[in-house]
Structure 1
Amino acid sequence: MNVFLWILQVLLAVLFALSGGVKSTQPKDKLAPRMPWVEDFSPATVRFIGIVEVLGAIGLILPPITGIAPVLTPLAATGLAVTMVLAAVTHARRKEYSGFGPNAVLFVLAAIVAWGRFGPYAF
């Protein structure tokens, strides 16, 4: 199970680092064609969301590798799961139901990591 959780952590870290990197470095106008929800938020908020995702990705990998504060890994997974719930709420408000699928999958994967690392497979 430990190997499975590591695989999920790496997968989530890559996905959130890529997604967050795009949101935190690209202007809002460039993001709008691919991510129409950015129209509802200020450029600073979109950048903040991207930075949160990048920090969450770092929190999934760096603490257990370094051995420094490994409790941050399940906290990062929990934070990313909450981010996906908020993303789903935004998609629901905008009636973008196609956005639920990716949000649900990422939520479940992050919740599994949080459960495993807080519980029986903690570092």
Structure 2
Amino acid sequence: MNTIYWIVAGLLALFYYYAGTLKVIRGRDQLRPMMAWVDRIPVPALRALGTVEILGATGLVLPPLTGIAPSLATAAAIGFVLLQTGAIVMHVTGEDRRIALNIALLSTAAVTIWLATNL
């Protein structure tokens, strides 16, 4: 079970670290081809979202790795479920209705919650 957690959580953390870093360092014009919804939120909110994604990715990996407060991994995974729920709402209410990636990320985060509680 431990190995499966590290594979799933590691892949999820890599995705969110990458996506969060893009949101923090790139401008709207650079993000628009990948993320059609960036014009619907203010730039400070976009930067905050990227920061939350980076912190969540760190929360999936660092606490179980160090053994310090490993329950934070569960909290990070719950945060990603909530984040993707909001993302699905954002996509459905906007012009961009492509939510397959969001559903996959939500499902992966849900599995990570289950795996983290069984570490």
TM-score, length-normalised on structure 1?
0.92
Describe the superposition over 1:31-71 as per-residue Cα deviations: whole angstroms up to 9, x where unpaired.
12321101000000000110111001000000111111111
Conserved in 2, the CA contact under 8 Å of 1:81 and 1:111? yes
Gaps of at least 5 residues in structure 2 are none
Task: State how far apart, in whole Å, the 1-side matches of 2:35 and 2:43 are.
Answer: 13
**Contact 1:13–1:60, Cα closer than 8 Å, also in 2:** yes
- Identify the residue that residue 32 of structure 2 maps to in structure 1: 32
Runs of 4+ in structure 1 displaced over 6 angstroms? none
Number of equivalent positions: 119
TM-score (norm 2): 0.95
- The gaps in structure 1 that reach 5 residues or longer are none
- Provide the aligned C-alpha RMSD in A: 1.0
Instruction: Considering Cα pairs closer than 8 Å and 6+ residues apart, tell me whether 1 or 2 has the greater RCO.
Output: 2
Tell me, in whole angstroms, the C-alpha distance in 2 between the residues paired with 1:87 and 1:117: 23
Residue equivalent to 1:116 = 115
Give the whole-Å Cα distance in 2 for the aligned partners of 1:7 and 1:34. 26
Letter in 2 for 1:57: A
